[in-house]
Amino acid sequence: MSKYEKTIYFMMILLIYLCIMPFALGALFRIIDINFGDDNLNQVYVLFITPFLCSFLPGLFYFIVTRDNLKETLSIKRLSIKNFFLIVLMAFLMQPAASFIAALSSVFFDNTVSSVMTSISETPPFTLIFVVAFLPAVFEELMYRGIILSGCKNAGVVQSAVISGLFFGIMHLNCNQFFYAFLLGVILGLFVIYTGSIFASMTAHFVINASQCFLVIISNKIMNSFPEIAVQAETAKVTFGELVFVGGIAVIFGTLFMMVFLYFLKINKSNVKNISMYEKPRRLINIPFIVIIVIFALYSVGMEVLNNMIGVRG
């Protein structure tokens, strides 16, 4: 069995684990009666332990079983100062496109991220950035741009970035997040491939999530100052005009992003030569790959229907 095939099987097992884990964790919390008496604190606690349960423990299991080289698999290598600043800049420039995709998908699917961020908006800024930006930037990147991307490299440069990005979107387990997480996952994968450093994607991931934290903090202050705006925002739906406006901003920033991105690829193209030396897998789409897609489709659509039913009853 090739490393690519082992990686796909690992992803299938990981997906099944992630589908079961929230229900098992919820049952455990009810049994041992974990409740801080504050919905905000409860949500922060869940966000704190999620990276450990969803990325660290499965990653630890992977290395115990495979005994792969840690440094090579996780692409632990120093990131140059030039690449660092280019990636920070690109992380800012790509956000309007991600926001547009999120806004567009929220027309059809529940925006779970928005509700979660609203529920923790009263959290102290340092704590908010730590649980929303720092922990995911470290542990999710070690998993998806470390273990998963490394296992897909023999598929080719673009193919490995697309496959790891696809799995990154799938592992969010909801339709709304899937589309922009997929796009960001592909780009972050290319960051790591072209720099050879996991710190490239960690930097971008942190900047993106931290930016969202600051937006939540600022919007929360505005809501507290103008309660009538908060009431309107709770019931507001994304309008066609807003989509057009956000889409226009996304096109402008996306154009700037592509200019910087192409320059980034040009100065780092020497780092991708070794990838062509890997033996290509016999087939990219195999049985576990298809099983992953089917499980995600059934789970995400099922949860969407269930949430809508609960909302109607509520």
Q: Which domain holds residue 307?
A: 3-313
What mean pLDDT is predicted for residues 14-29? 84
- State the burial class of residue 171 (Cβ atoms within 10 Å of its Cβ: 0-12, 13-18, 19+): buried
The pLDDT-based confidence of 194 (bands split at 50, 70, 90) is very high
SS3 209: helix
Least confident range of 112-116, 144-148, 164-168, 188-192: 112-116
Q: Which two tokens mark 90?
A: 């690109």
pLDDT of residue 102: 87
- Separation between Cα atoms, residue 261 and residue 259, nearest integer Å: 5
48 has a pLDDT exceeding 90: no
pLDDT of residue 312: 45
Count of domains forming the chain? 1
Least confident range of 31-35, 167-171, 252-256, 294-298: 31-35
Report the Cα–Cα distance between both ends of the chain, in Å, rounded: 50
pLDDT of residue 121: 72
89 has a pLDDT exceeding 90: yes
Q: Which residues contact 311 (CB under 8 A, 6 or more apart)?
A: none
- Separation between Cα atoms, residue 172 and residue 281, nearest integer Å: 26
12 has a pLDDT exceeding 90: yes
Residue 189 or 35, more confident: 189
Percent of the chain whose predicted confidence (pLDDT) is above 90: 54
Residue 27 or 232, more confident: 27
107-141 tens-digit pLDDT? 888 777 777 777 777 788 888 899 999 999 999 99
Q: What is the mean pLDDT of the chain?
A: 85
Least confident range of 147-151, 279-283, 303-307: 279-283
The per-residue DSSP string of 41-67 comes to HHHHHHHHHHHIIIIIHHHHHHHHHH-
pLDDT of residue 237: 64
pTM, to two decimals: 0.89
The pLDDT-based confidence of 225 (bands split at 50, 70, 90) is low
- Separation between Cα atoms, residue 181 and residue 170, nearest integer Å: 8
- Separation between Cα atoms, residue 285 and residue 155, nearest integer Å: 11
What mean pLDDT is predicted for residues 26-36? 64
178 has a pLDDT exceeding 50: yes
